[in-house]
Structure 1
Amino acid sequence: MIYPKRLQKGDTVGVIAPASPVETRKLENGRKFLKELGLQVKLGKHVDKVYGYLAGDDADRLEDFHAMLADPDVKAIIFARGGYGTARIAQDLDYQLIRENPKIIWGYSDITYLHTAIRQETGLVTFHGPMVASDMAKDDFDDLSRFLFQQLFGPTTLIYSERISPLHTIAEGEAEGELTGGNLSLLVSTLGTPFEINTKGKILLLEDIGEEPYRVDGMLNQLKLAGKLEEAAGVVVGDFAKAEATLDSSLALEEVFEHYLQSFSGPVLSGFRIGHCLPHFSVPLGAVAHLSSKEKTLVVNPGIQ
């Protein structure tokens, strides 16, 4: 794996919108938090564009990404928001440029597609964490979510235990491997593409928002039939926000996970506050993680050098 360099106070971070359009007010509110961290903020040339449900056309969004990668003054790229659209630019992304300029890349949700493509094409560790014009802009952006940005300023081993939230064991065991995954629907959308998620021997993180139990069932079934669940060493079930069933008769979300994962050969734990939630426990994808049902912990090695 390639580990990006740590940030220093006074460094410049680039903010771009590779998916859906950004609200100016929210973007400005989020910038304030980055400045509180002692960082300078450079906005992408096209960050305020709107092209239907996209933040500019594909060429605009690619141009911003490539410009931030090539700019020697920009030490990290933190995405403004997710939504939809990153899969549209994955094939045209300059992965050699990323390899030559391995910077901190931070975001989640629709950014899962970019995390997966970049990691598998370049080996760069990237970060699953809150974004500028969505999470950072909220009045209730909490202390833990804020504190976890400190992992970008120095190598930090992250420990998630029941001190943060109650954890439920779905399958017993201990496993170690690279942390991979993210948004479930985006992971499923990689199947059959050049960027198909590789889960072999890895700790698989799953989270999502707005998906009813029957939809989660269908996506887990697709991962199962594709061999992606069986190949993983362990599974971390993150937050599934706004997942209430609207059907008159439905399985509970917990029943869905148990159906697919209770006979898993390694550890499976749920209840992690990772995803579309606050607090949002940010983690480096590609870093080595250790998952234990006995200790009820997820320990993730530093994601920077």
Structure 2
Amino acid sequence: MDYRKGVALLAIRPKKLQKGDTVGVIAPASPPDLEKLQRALPFLGELGLNVKVGKHVESVNGYLAGKDEERIEDIHEMFADKEVKGIICAGGGFGTARIAARLDYELVKHNPKIFWGYSDVTFLHTAIHQKTDLVTFHGPMLSSDIGQEKVYELTKQSFKQLFTETTIEYTEEVSLLEVIHEGKVTGEIIGGNLSLLVSTLGTPFEVDTRGKILFMEDVDEEPYQVDRMLNQLKMAGKIEEAAGILVCDFNNCTPKKRKRSLTLDDVVADHIASAHKPAMKGFKIGHCSPQVAIPIGVRGTLDTNSKTFIVEPGIQ
């Protein structure tokens, strides 16, 4: 049971997938690489799934995968379609924040199903969870990840949690973990891409970290940019309100423009270690290969003594 704003709530876990089920594919942000998308679709077949591609997945409107109305239509149709048991995002990029305020959250709440993606999809994860309490999944996408020439088996295995109630046990067998601040905490998991989490601030979808385990990742941001975003989260009270923190993969977040720079570790120490919350870094969650998928909205336990992160199943 989760506690938010003093009220006991139960997260809505979507039903698990079975072989023969149909999943929908949408592009809610930027246009996906269609060649990589076509390379990725057979993977869903290997999982025993049928695929229904959104009618606007191949649409292009500048840096957006079609007009806002088209991307909204695909999302609504996939949630309304009784045949579709899960929705997998083709890729990220930019654009989900443009459509968040216009989604029909009552439709989503009354048709709970698997919703899977990451990066720019973080804004939708945050919005959907806050408006419906539906558990969603931060995981590798089709064009962005599965369609690459080399895909780690661990990345592919992340999809198995959609078929069987699986407790994820993240240990140093997956990646080297480093303690930022000691402690043990259990709480609801929230988070995603740092840039998108910061972009929710001041909106109706502002990320709620109170008593929760906050995880964050990003890509191609220099240390000063990560510094700015973490500082904004801190000033907004989001780091102080969190019960624990996971610093996940910050891919290619190295100095480029400036000859003199703090390191990413310096920035993390300034903003995360100083918060004195149970915190670790090194998780392969985000823009990385291999990539571990985790559900958002379920309970997790972070233990720096055993260097483990245990996550409850995201499906029922």
Q: In the alignment, what sits opposite 1:273?
A: 284
Match of 2:53 among 43, 51, 56: 43
Q: In the alignment, what sits opposite 2:163?
A: 153
Q: Percent identity?
A: 57
Q: In the alignment, what sits opposite 2:26?
A: 16
Q: CA deviation at 1:289?
A: 0.3
Aligned AA for 1:159? E
The whole-number CA distance in structure 2 between the counterparts of 1:287 and 1:259 is: 29
Q: In the alignment, what sits opposite 1:292?
A: 303
Tell me whether 1:255 sits opposite 2:229 in the alignment: no
RMSD of aligned residue pairs (Cα, Å): 0.6
1:25-64 pair list within 5 angstroms = 25-64=35-74
Q: Which runs of 5+ in 2 are unaligned?
A: 1-10
Match of 2:105 among 84, 90, 95: 95
Q: Which runs of 5+ in 1 are unaligned?
A: none
The whole-number CA distance in structure 2 between the counterparts of 1:34 and 1:136 is: 10
Match of 2:205 among 195, 215, 228: 195
Structure 1, 77-86 or 22-31: larger mean CA deviation: 22-31
The one-character-per-residue Cα deviations of 1:88-131 (angstroms, maximum 9, x if unpaired) are 00000000000110000000000000000000000000000000
Q: CA deviation at 1:266?
A: 2.3
The whole-number CA distance in structure 1 between the counterparts of 2:275 and 2:33 is: 42
The whole-number CA distance in structure 1 between the counterparts of 2:253 and 2:30 is: 22
Q: CA deviation at 1:24?
A: 1.7
Q: CA deviation at 1:263?
A: 2.7
TM-score (norm 1): 0.99
The whole-number CA distance in structure 2 between the counterparts of 1:24 and 1:252 is: 36
The whole-number CA distance in structure 1 between the counterparts of 2:227 and 2:199 is: 15
Q: In the alignment, what sits opposite 1:139?
A: 149
3-state secondary structure, aligned to 1:6: coil
Tell me whether 1:6 sits opposite 2:16 in the alignment: yes
Aligned AA for 2:178? H
Ranges of 4+ aligned residues in structure 1 off by more than 4 Å: none
Q: In the alignment, what sits opposite 2:6?
A: none
Q: CA deviation at 1:156?
A: 0.3
Q: CA deviation at 1:10?
A: 0.8
CA contact (8 A) 1:128 1:285 kept: yes
3-state secondary structure, aligned to 2:85: strand
CA contact (8 A) 1:174 1:266 kept: no
The one-character-per-residue Cα deviations of 1:163-216 (angstroms, maximum 9, x if unpaired) are 111111111101110110100000000000000000000000010001000000
3-state secondary structure, aligned to 2:151: coil
